[in-house]
Amino acid sequence: MHYIDHTLSNNLRVLMVPSHAFQSVSMGIFVKVGARYEPANLSGMSHFIEHMLFKGTKNRPSARQIAEAIEGIGGDSNAYTGPETTVYYAKVAAAQVNVAIDFLTDLLRNPLFTAADIKKERRVIGEEINMVFDSPDEWLDVVIDEVLWPDHPLGQSVTGTTASLRNINRPALTSFFETAYHPGNLVVALGGAFDPEQVIPEIDARLGDWPAQAPPPFEPAPPPASDIRYRIEDRAIEQGHLCLALPGLPRNHPDRYALSVLNTLLGDGMSSRLFLSIREEKGLAYAVDSGINLLQDTGSLTIYAGVDPRRAAEALQAILIELKQLCDHPIPAQELRKAKEYVKGRMGLGLEDTYSQAAWVAYQALYQTAIKSPADALAAYEAVTGEAISALVERLIAPGRYSLAAIGPFGQGEALIRLITE
């Protein structure tokens, strides 16, 4: 994958992956800010700003005009907020690339933040919080982060709380926005059928006079927990939801490729150990999987299962047995080969659209010291050895490091707690 790394005079970095094999162009503006940058009393601020930028700008004063700008040419636009990154993107037919550039740069340079829109959006986000709470599998993601990182911004929900929403007003929004949104804290990336010589002047005309500042600080992650932590939410629902978590690795850790392969072996896909054992052999869960969360200075490995509440303890016991098997026995060569091919294949398929190619270079530009090509990443996965997996297992998986979140008709959850504490 060939990319061009161009820096404007104000130090704004523009990453371009031109390819005329596509009929489209995707453009994203990737801002290095998210929930972990927020004080507890303003939790949800980054997400609130993401919403507000689609409510009105100087050039497009209404939400309707913003929606029609890209929809009106058959394109897609959206945004999302995470713990560390907020992203705004648009995907359009190749001939409409200038519309995407004008649209996204207008969102970031000219937001109105009107009092009426802030009041309205506070209610809308409140309903979003309620919706997540009413979806136990989604709410579990919020709870496990609170368990992993209590009293720390990493444990705060991206959407905030109903209490913190009340504190978010126009002065707070504009102050936070001005601190985080500038060329010193974001990158622009494009992928698809475009001419770099044509798009650079268009971007420069709209963003070249934007002064850069120092990036905002964030509170460093605490060391991994040395005690077992858990939270049980007793709810009268039909299905039980379990999430078992372990400390993971930071984004740029050299063992992150081994961690991806380990995660694949454990719970990514229908041929993973957890799926075959918990669902196919024992019938203990409809859904069971594992995932990794890589952050700037920490991370987590999580296992999720949706279970019959009456068999929740049995399902958790079976998960713990699979983790112990990893600790007690080396990975067979054939299983390691299958996991590596799975990871490499998924990575290749994931790069088959213009947005994912733009995101590939953008995230590395924000968080890594150098941008690896897909070929470099494939080689890094191929180089993962069974010994590297075993060393990682020894480092990360230990009973004293477990954190547990559970939602369902579990009462105090004594049977679940006993399994991870004894």
Beta sheet of 86-93, edge-to-edge order: 4-7, 13-18, 186-192, 24-31, 86-93, 76-81
DSSP states along 136-181: HHHHHHHHHHHHHSTTSGGGS-TT--HHHHHH--HHHHHHHHHHH-
Q: What is the DSSP letter of 281?
A: I
Name residue, tokens 């992993």. Answer: 148
Residues with Cβ within 8 Å of 117's Cβ and at least 6 positions away in sequence, in order, are 52, 55, 56, 63
Length of the chain: 422
Active site residues: 50
Sign, CA dihedral 377-382-385-389, equals positive
Strands (DSSP E) found in 58-166: 76-81, 86-93
Taking the C-alpha atoms of residue 76 and residue 91, their distance in angstroms, rounded to an integer, is: 5
CA distances from 301 to 219, 264, 388, 391 (A): 21, 11, 17, 16
Residue 94 contacts residue 192 (beta carbons within 8 Å):
yes
Q: What is the DSSP letter of 71?
A: H
CA-nearest of 236, 239, 403, 229 to 305 is: 239
Nearest 5°: CA angle at 23, between 17 and 24?
Answer: 60
C-alpha 254, offset from chain centre: 20
Helices (H) and strands (E) in the chain, counts: 16, 11
Give the CA radius of gyration of the chain. 23
Residue 61 contacts residue 112 (beta carbons within 8 Å):
yes
